Amino acid sequence: MAALLLPSCLHLASSRTSSSCKTTLRCAAGKELSELQRTAANDQLIDLLKDAPSQQELSRLVAENVLAFDQKFWLRVAARSDTAGSTEEKERLSMLASTILKMIEKIVEKTDSDLNAARQVLQDILRAGANEKGEWFLPLPADRAAAMRQAMKARVGQLDEAFLSHTHACMRKSADDGLNDFVQVLQKVLQLYAGLALSIEGQEGMEGRLNEIIAADVESWPSKLQEAASPGGGMSGAAFTETLQRRMEGTILKLKSGSYAQQVQAEYLKELETQAKSAFQR
């Protein structure tokens, strides 16, 4: 059982780290760059930004390399401006720096706005799963899980990367604080999200059977899969696995690589695959 509003979670600033290199300023083979390498990398980035063919492309480059705009980057811009061979080049660098700063400000504003919206959406979904005292009982009763699912459906357009990122951040913080019950509640949120995102209405046959299981509570999977695998279930393990594999491949291809949406949905289907193999082997 957990209290509804845990400040360490619902007031947590979301963050995400990635092991992929966005710029050449990142470490090579896990080692810090030397000053000479860092200067060269900053020059490479400055030239890339300076030669951007359009504002749209410049905006994309700024967003992708936002972590690279540290003090050393700006010092390098200033140094190149001081040693510029012409007034035109000096003005070009000055205008580039001003434009980048404005773009970064917009990115920060959007990030803050997205985080506030994500925090509110998560809070509303969690409230739907709590009882009148603002508490959860685990495992979550079916009616509370259904209420959370309905709250999600009402906010389906807001179940974006910011929402998933914030939910993951809450899970990490809750785990660090030893709030394991609350981690389970947040895991349920992600499971419900995946079931909603992956289910496709109006399909028949094996796809329809798969959708029925995907949209169901994870806790009901063992019984549903056992029923499907029974002699009268009308489903073979090979056919179910093939259908599930197609859904997994489609999920990976249509979602942005490395995104939280791809990660959560792929893990959800992978767990279903594991349980299905167990059920059909019995």
Structure confidence by residue, pLDDT tens digits, 92-129: 999 999 999 999 999 888 888 888 999 999 999 999 99
For 237, residues 6+ apart whose C-beta sits below 8 A from its C-beta are 229, 276, 277, 280, 281
Q: Residues in the chain, how many?
A: 282
Residue 250, CA distances (Å) to 202, 218, 257, 259, 262 in order: 18, 21, 12, 15, 11
DSSP annotation of 136 reads E
Burial 261-278 (b: 16+ CB within 10 A, else e): bbebbbebbeebbebbee
Average pLDDT for 250-261: 89
**d(C-alpha 264, C-alpha 68), whole Å:** 28
Q: Quick check: 20 pLDDT over 80?
A: no
pTM exceeds cut of 0.75: no
Q: Quick check: 268 pLDDT over 90?
A: yes
Q: Quick check: 265 pLDDT over 90?
A: yes
Residue 44: Cβ within 10 Å count: 13
Cross-strand partners of 3: 135
Average pLDDT for 23-35: 47
Closest CA to 194 of 211, 179, 206: 211
Which tens digits make up the pLDDT trace of 162-216?
999 999 989 988 888 888 888 999 999 999 999 999 988 777 888 888 999 999 9
Cross-strand partners of 277: none
**d(C-alpha 267, C-alpha 269), whole Å:** 5
End-to-end CA distance of the chain: 35
Average pLDDT for 20-31: 36
Q: Give the residue, 235 or 30, on which the prediction is more confident.
A: 235
Report the half-sphere exposure of 248 (CA within 13 A, side-chain side): 15
Tokens of 63: 């967003």
**d(C-alpha 232, C-alpha 225), whole Å:** 12
Residue 76 sits at the vertex; the CA angle it makes with 75 and 79, to the nearest 5 degrees, is: 90
Determine phi and psi for 136, rounding to 5 degrees: -115, 145
**d(C-alpha 25, C-alpha 32), whole Å:** 9
